[in-house]
Structure 1
């Protein structure tokens, strides 16, 4: 099986978020895909199969479980297809039958994602302590991704967070992850970090899927539809987001191929 590793949401190798991309040509089981994702041990591995013309199916697996939607692995998969074909637009269909349209725009790739709502939520003192947060501005929840969003006041405090992940896992058994975010006065409109020891690795370096609700959250607060987002993980990464009509979101970023090979299955 042709297999790649692609660093997404960056133009520099070994930055951004690495994703595995496996090109599926014969049917393989869910168990085999999960085993491959665990073997590659990246935050997500995408399994992509050509259906017809520029239509492809796509599924995402973390080392622990199947993930319904993943931005950086979609970007990585599009990068591979654009590098190996002459198409300028790709239509991915996810396991949940969500269609993701991606387009090549020079060195960047744009992806159309759905926009999700958030609802007011509460957070336990134990979870905040495990994250190393003493005070929050707001707490909301997105049901489609099963992620809790916490807004704090300082990007510098966000960058310095060093969660106790063993304690964090014990504070909640019903969510996929916690997204911590803050507004910014730099070249970016907002910063974020995503912690998901419940369903993946401890921290996801750069997370496109969280922007399905994060972009609208900040759009309403900042009164903007087009914004720049920075993810303040150790690897760092950035993307452009824009809310458009029909409750859709454009996520735009770059990607770098760092590995090409064959997986023996």
Structure 2
């Protein structure tokens, strides 16, 4: 059915990711994925570029996993380790408001998700409506521990946008090469999928926020990353949610194992 092109994790929520080779995947997702996050001291909410007015700058920070911690590299070349005693002060100065870097999700953790259409209309600096969104207990993941996207979905978006769309805009854990055309992974929802020696349960299409449209590291803004699926792939991620622009799918882990680039992906 397909094969894994790349495996990625995002050690700090809403910062840039890193490619990995063979990595364990279990109930909490890929080892080291969303292991840390910034928490806004004033609100107690988890910092997320889903609210770009406040947190889009996080998408310009490179992250590398180092032992049990992380090393951050800023665009100006400065580096910072999670164990540094002044990490919170330096990060607060960087984002312009008091934050703390933590590996422990707050109780009843939540984040603010800006309404995507409002961001497209008014821009990422505008003070647009946000929707408080609860995170799964004990996790910094948005909804599920694993996120997949296929090359057929990326090709469909790029063809309509008139330009190639980079997979990492959508922040997937697994990029899967498939021979079919269109939004292939929509048909996987409700099925188990084997990847390497792991088995994933595909539970929902991934509703897209404004993040894929934003500048991310060397990637410039690209509004069609959201506009095209909003036009061509409006589906209901979960009953009662109504139609959303979707690209990719969320998954839970049915059987833990290891995933690697080159692994065969099979719908069971």
Q: In which range does the TM-score fall when normalised by the shorter chain?
A: under 0.3
Structure with the higher strand share, 1 or 2: 1
TM-score scaled by structure 2?
0.25
TM-score normalized by the length of structure 1: 0.25
